[in-house]
Amino acid sequence: MADALILPIGLVTAGLVAARLGVLTIAAWQQATYRREQDRLTLEVMRERIAEAKKRRNENALAWNGLRKFVVKRKVLEAEGICSFYLVAHDRKPLPPFKPGQYLTFRLSIPGRDKPVIRCYSLSDSPRTDQYRVSIKRVGSPPDQPTAPPGLVSNYFHEQLSEGDILDVQAPRGHFFLDVEQERPVVLIAGGVGVTPLLSMVNAVVATRTQRDVLFFYGVRNSREHAFKDTLQEIVSHHSNIRLVVAYSNPQPEDERNEGRDFHHSGRVDIRLIKSYLDSTNYQFYICGPPAMMETLNKQLLRWGVAEHDIHTEAFGPATVSKAFASPQAPQSARASDSAATAISITFAKSGKTCSWSPSAGNLLDLAEAHGVRIDSGCRAGNCGTCVVAVKSGKIQYVTEHGAELEEGTCLTCIAAPEGNIVLDA
Ligand SMILES: Cc1cc2nc3c(=O)[nH]c(=O)nc-3n(C[C@H](O)[C@H](O)[C@H](O)COP(=O)(O)OP(=O)(O)OC[C@H]3O[C@@H](n4cnc5c(N)ncnc54)[C@H](O)[C@@H]3O)c2cc1C
Ligand code: FES
């Protein structure tokens, strides 16, 4: 009887041992596969990091400090009063790539001026190593001051510069750029010549060959000022992920027959138009245009529920910066009421002047100029670094992010507001 049980028990035991061995073998095999996969992923990440580091090293090797000489290779009229300038390095060495949306800073010696003049212009094409392009609108006298001199540098570019001329240029910089590594859908909103950095962004999306959704709103007065019409139409005709909505604020009689083809709406690019094309607020917004348009849209997008960090704006001039003192993002001191802030005193040590500051006085550069204190300026938007002065005592805050590099203890007066009493070395 006992003998009869030995065989089945033996078989069961052997089976159990075999099953156990099988389980252990499978587990060991799974572990080995898992470890191999982990090693492969680690190696892949390391390779990517090395490639990224090499890429950055090459880019840094191509970038330059200070000024580099560029030759105007080509000058092309894009629309009434807007000209593109194609620039190649005078030393013919490759150019560093830039981030789409960044700008170049020019230092120009203009006949009749005792000092060089500085201005920033956005790069309007996607990054290339052989040439850069900027597109410049000729600025006239302000409508309410027709006898004032027209824009100095924009007119110099249009009237005085020819192909073959040489310019001094700083390396590309700026915080207003599109991260092309991301896939999130993006809304680009351009007003007039503010199209330049956004054109660079859409060109960069095309160059990356991704399917990232782009909705491009472009507001211009009419067909005469409609720069880059063919370029943009060509892009949307070949890329179903990119949509273009053009609005003419003041269409001319000759434009009427082209409604639906060259432009889609009469009127401005406003929040109603934008909402009518979007199914949610889950987009990144990039806006560049006249100060009034940017301020209104910024507020309306926030009110609609767009996250603040998803709204990016670029100011082309000082007006936006001055108005920023009234915005919710402005520093605490700047938001204080004028009467409460009159206690803030600013001393310009070199000039021996002390005056009181309130938000209506604008930034520290405006205040200095209003009191006859000379501080050189260029972009008046925190980008070129010309208006830098040392802060001898006290604290300042910026109303907007600055593009210019800064040393400890200095401040860019064109975008600075005081936090309390301060002494500036000016
Ligand atoms: C980051 C950045 C990117 C930019 N990108 C671009 C771009 O891609 N394309 C582009 O076209 N612009 C761009 N700009 C704007 C550009 O830098 C200049 O501000 C613009 O070209 C005007 O410069 P200007 O020298 O011609 O005019 P300014 O000489 O600075 O004059 C500006 C205005 O002031 C008026 N004015 C001058 N003197 C007086 C006076 N005494 N009294 C009353 N009014 C006066 C002029 O008539 C003019 O209307 C950008 C700016 C920044 C900061
Ligand atoms: S004037 Fe250019 S940073 Fe202030």
How far apart are alpha carbons 358 and 424 in whole angstroms?
Answer: 16
Q: Answer for the pair 331, 419: CB distance below 8 angstroms, yes or no.
A: yes
Picking from 329, 332, 333, the residue whose alpha carbon sits closest to that of residue 341 is 333
pLDDT at 231: 97
State the ligand closest to the CA atom of 365: 2
127 pocket-lining for ligand 2 (C-beta < 6 Å): no
The amino acid occupying position 47 is R
Counting ligand 2 atoms within 8 A of each CB, the residue from 367, 369, 383 with the most, and so the one to mutate, is 383
**The two structure tokens encoding residue 137:** 């609108």
pLDDT at 337: 45
Cα 274 to Cα 108, 109, 265, 417: the distances in Å are 39, 43, 12, 33
pLDDT digits (tens, 9 = 90+) for 269-321: 999 999 999 999 999 999 999 988 998 999 999 999 999 999 999 888 764 43
pLDDT at 183: 92
| Atom 40 (ligand 1) nearest CA | 148
The amino acid occupying position 184 is R
Counting ligand 2 atoms within 8 A of each CB, the residue from 363, 402, 412, 424 with the most, and so the one to mutate, is 412
pLDDT at 36: 86
Mean pLDDT of 112-137: 94
pLDDT at 319: 42
How far apart are alpha carbons 19 and 15 in whole angstroms?
Answer: 6
pLDDT digits (tens, 9 = 90+) for 329-381: 555 555 554 454 457 999 999 999 999 998 888 899 999 999 999 998 888 88
User: In which band, very low, low, confident or very high, does the pLDDT at 322 lie, cut at 50, 70 and 90?
Assistant: very low
Picking from 111, 56, 121, the residue whose alpha carbon sits closest to that of residue 384 is 121
pLDDT digits (tens, 9 = 90+) for 225-236: 999 999 999 999
Of the two residues 63 and 46, the one the predictor is more confident about is: 63
Q: Answer for the pair 201, 188: CB distance below 8 angstroms, yes or no.
A: yes
Residue 114 phi, psi (nearest 5)? -75, -20
User: How far, in Å, is the centroid of ligand 2 from the Cα of 95?
Assistant: 25
Picking from 319, 366, 360, 365, the residue whose alpha carbon sits closest to that of residue 341 is 360
User: In which band, very low, low, confident or very high, does the pLDDT at 40 lie, cut at 50, 70 and 90?
Assistant: confident
State the ligand closest to the CA atom of 132: 1
Residue 157 DSSP label = I
The amino acid occupying position 171 is A
381 pocket-lining for ligand 1 (C-beta < 6 Å): yes
Tell whether the model's pLDDT for residue 68 goes beyond 70.
yes
User: How far, in Å, is the centroid of ligand 2 from the Cα of 272?
Assistant: 35
Mean pLDDT of 243-272: 96
pLDDT at 363: 92
174 pocket-lining for ligand 2 (C-beta < 6 Å): no
pLDDT at 65: 86
Tell me the three state secondary structure of residue 324.
Answer: helix
Lowest mean pLDDT, pick from 43-52, 178-187, 413-422? 43-52
Look up the pTM and report it: 0.81
Half-sphere exposure of 30 (CA within 13 A, CB side): 6
State the ligand closest to the CA atom of 121: 1
How far apart are alpha carbons 208 and 376 in whole angstroms?
Answer: 41
Domains of the chain: 68-173 (2.40.30.10), 186-316 (3.40.50.80), 332-424 (3.10.20.30)
User: How far, in Å, is the centroid of ligand 1 from the Cα of 238?
Assistant: 35
**The two structure tokens encoding residue 353:** 């002047």
pLDDT digits (tens, 9 = 90+) for 167-179: 999 999 888 999 9
* Alpha-carbon torsion (104, 107, 109, 110), positive or negative: positive
Mean pLDDT of 175-194: 95
